[in-house]
Structure 1
Amino acid sequence: MWLFLRLDGIGEFEHPQHPNMMVRDESKEIWSGGGLTMEYLEPQMCWKINFDGLLRKGPYRQQWSEEEGELVPVKFSLHWENSTDVFNFNVDNNPSTFARALAQEPWTIELFQRVKKQREQHFRHEQWGRSVGEIEIENCGKTELSLKGIRSHSYGVRNWAEIYRYVMILAHFEDGTAAHLTVINMPATTTHLTVGYVFFPDGRKAGIEWSNASLAQLAEDGLIQDEYGVSFTAGGKSFDVSAALDKQNCPVVYNGLTGSGVFHECIADFQLNGLTPGWGLVEFYYRDEAAQPVPNLQLGSKADPATAASPL
């Protein structure tokens, strides 16, 4: 589970478990854990999202600490409703990006067997929408919220040991355009694969056909810069996207119980083709072979660290 909040004039908040992201699964009927519940009201249309619990007031932590920090009671209730169609990565991706990535690899029977296995085991789809509701923070009163954002559903078997690194850009622009661009290195199959899509203001969707994005130029050394720029094509149109990262709002999350990978979630302001402003994030993932388990990990306030856990 990842749970981060930033409210202008109030501050930054994160779940007390972070940078660990594991929580106990508390319900068999809906997804519930760590005080957060998510329940669909109508498949791929409407969701209800509630939280009632403690959050740690910022700044966001960059590494594990035994210190709890300042914990604040927070409640929020949101109704999420879709505003776009679903983009299914298994059928809607433009085949040219995968063909280009596969052409760079040495072809063997084993390679194609691994590619086939990945495709049959892991599935993902996304759609954009709006969350409307209110949040109440102790000593800060209630605030009404109207938030544009993305619902990303990944399911099946994902072997994180096969992922070396990736950078993902998610952006929504003032004119209604929404975009996703991921560049990923999976040494077992494709060392430089580009995937993603564009939702146009009129509702059309198109998989990304080409991009100049390169992992070698996107914080390869682990030092995340303040600004990045990428270009790509989709639906026969060209897009130049620049991102200005808010380095003060770049929380970190460990991947799993061992922390064998690290996510950096960098909030960013975007510009599309030098004119249209947008908002979103740039996510950097690094595999950390030398990572150690989080010490004395507790999965929620009543959990036994030896019990199984479920990430969101």
Structure 2
Amino acid sequence: MISSITKVIKQSDMSDLNLISVVVRPNTIVIDNGNFYRNEELFVSDVIGASKAQLSEAWVAGNILLFTAFDGYLENKYSLTEGESFKNHYDNIPCGTEIELIEKDCYRILKLIRNGIQHNLSNVVVNRGSYSISYSFRGTPYSLQIDAWAMRYLYTIIMNLIGEGIQGLFSKYSTDGHYMGIMNTMYAELRAGITQISDDIGAFVGAAQGTGQYDAEHLRYIVRHPVVNPIIVSEDDNSIVFRHIECNGTDDETQIQYQYSTDYVYNDYLLPQEMGVITRMISDNLQERLSGGTIRFSKNDITDKWKMKL
């Protein structure tokens, strides 16, 4: 049943309008007469004559379907008691790992939306994808203010959890570290878009890092550029240095347009840019700075979670 529901969601326009998919563009370095350039692969798909169900317009059905699938997934994963209340299911979702914390918080949010729709639909206001919910039940106030982008992150995170992988991220260029790093970033964005929440639970169990802060535990998710044959500048027992491939039109990582990241294939590992230390060329010329940098990775950081799923 779970796979059938997620298939319906993916084949509806809800997937186009509300789910975020990572774009992967593999790069190959070519050296010619001492100069180097990169070939970038682009993957294009098209569906002709197909009409998708307008599930995004039927937001009531979309939320109920997704909650049903998520509840069933967690019920199977953690042997939750079938037929018990959703609050009982929430209480029995463990919270010992980062993924479990994200599961628990996302279940709480979607449960609040589901219950509002099911029992107090007149108090659920949807405006261009944002949700405003406010009602009382047995003396307990329930409320949620969440913006449209946070709803996209909520839906995407849940679909990634059910599918146990990041949408759009090829298995060849996927690692446990990339999965967790992208999920952490999306979770931070989700939390940033919630301005109010009140129910019978209390505080969130997960700790959200501020948005726009990237490191080995928080990876960018819009476009990733794995370099299959990076140029090694130097290597010793402690570290390895590659020629950095900058895929943004700026080298200022604080700018909002800096949204792409490079990954480096090293033996069986895929090392994310966010984990390395970039040294940029000192120059007033942007193109020189973009093409003249290096990136260093400590070998102590190259652990099994960065192994590719070959």
Instruction: Say whether the fold is shared (TM-score over 0.5).
Output: no
Q: TM-score, normalised by structure 1?
A: 0.25
Q: Is the strand fraction higher in 1 or 2?
A: 1
Larger-Rg structure: 2
Q: TM-score, normalised by structure 2?
A: 0.26
Q: Is the helix fraction higher in 1 or 2?
A: 2
